[in-house]
């Protein structure tokens, strides 16, 4: 059986999400430094995603422990991204260094 919940102002959330989307498109088309655009766009996307989870998915009105279930995949994704980051950034070097290292390993 469902219980009654407090309701956030859905229209205000909707307007915020729409405005943030317009800002995102604006930021993507500015001539700012690439890293600054990356930081701004990722921050805006995270804010929008959190707004959907907190207000539309009613996490704001749930028990705090339930929010842990929601946050866990985000933390694991962050960990995963850091785990793949060195390999991804190093792949240009791999093409030059790995064959030599492998050749050295074969000689021994």
Partner 1 sequence: MSQAAAMEHPVGVEPAESPLTPESWGKLGMWIFLAGDAMSFGGLLAGYAALRLGDPVWPDPDSILGINLTALMTFVLICSSVSMVKALSAIRHGDHAGLKKWLLATILGGTFFLGCQAYEWTHLIDHGLSLSTLFGATFFILTGFHGAHVTSGVIYLSVILALSGRFDEHSNTPVELVGLYWHFVDLVWILIFTFVYLL
- The interface with partner 1 within residues 29-58 (CB under 8 A) comprises 37-38, 41-42, 44-45, 48-49, 52-53, 56-57
Alpha helix segments (H runs only) across 29-63: 34-51
As measured in angstroms, the least distance from the Cβ of 55 to partner 1 is 8
Tokens, residue 14: 């909707």
**Minimum CB distance to partner 1 smaller for 47 or for 99:** 47
> In the set 35, 84, 105, 106, which binds partner 1 (CB under 8 A)?
84
- Distance between alpha carbon 34 and the CA centroid of its chain, in Å? 17
């Amino acid at each position: 059986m469902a219980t009654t919940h407090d309701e956030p102002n859905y229209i205000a959330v909707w307007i915020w999400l729409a405005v943030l989307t317009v800002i995102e498109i604006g930021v993507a088309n500015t001539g700012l430094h690439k890293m600054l655009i990356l930081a701004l766009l990722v921050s805006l996307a995270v804010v929008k995603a959190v707004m959907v989870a907190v207000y539309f998915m009613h996490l704001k009105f749930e028990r705090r422990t339930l929010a842990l279930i929601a946050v866990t995949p985000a933390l694991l994704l962050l960990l995963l991204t850091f785990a793949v980051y060195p390999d991804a950034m190093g792949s240009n070097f791999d093409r030059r260094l790995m064959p030599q290292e492998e050749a050295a390993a074969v000689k021994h």
